[in-house]
Amino acid sequence: VVACVGGGSNAIGVFAPFAYLPELERPRLYGVEAAGEGVDTGRHAASVSGGQIGVLHGSKMYLLFDENGQIVPAHSISAGLDYPGIGPEHSYYAKAHLATYVPVGDVEALEAFQTFTRMEGIIPALETAHAIAFVNSLAPTMPKDQIIVVNLSGRGDKDLNTLMQVSGL
């Protein structure tokens, strides 16, 4: 089961029914974070992959913050994933190894957006394009009889202005 993760509401809705199944019955759960320009650049929104545990809005979670404890700006081409933290339930899933959180960058998400739109005739949200990009690398590593479920979190028509700016149109 694959879903994009910003603050986490989209992914937690699809993960929750599976997270506490016995390990042998539980599908692998993947939360795809926005790596923006790269986790190592500091211009990303990948709180689990590139952040640390802290407190924001009264909740203990993985966050992006500096050495003084100040929240640092998150970056992603997707406004829906551009958040400096991940919810406390996802933070628990990550620490307890109930789900795996992986970063996907802007470039990979844009490529997946274009390919998915062309091949499926569906305009996914840029958030979802991050999950689709991860699936493009995950699927070839799996046996052909396994099933991948991707949570499509929204429509991409809301992202057309961003896509036009990035494309220079």
Q: How confident is residue 30, by pLDDT bands cut at 50, 70 and 90?
A: very high
- The arithmetic mean of pLDDT across residues 152-163, rounded, is 88
Count of Cβ atoms closer than 10 Å to residue 60 Cβ = 12
**Residue 124, beta-bridge partner list:** 155
Q: What is the per-residue pLDDT for 169? A: 57
- pTM comes to 0.94
Are 127 and 81 in contact by the 8 Å Cβ rule? The answer is yes
For 72-105, how does the pLDDT look when each residue is reduced to its tens digit (9 = 90+)? Answer: 999 999 988 989 999 999 999 999 999 999 999 9
DSSP code, position 157: G
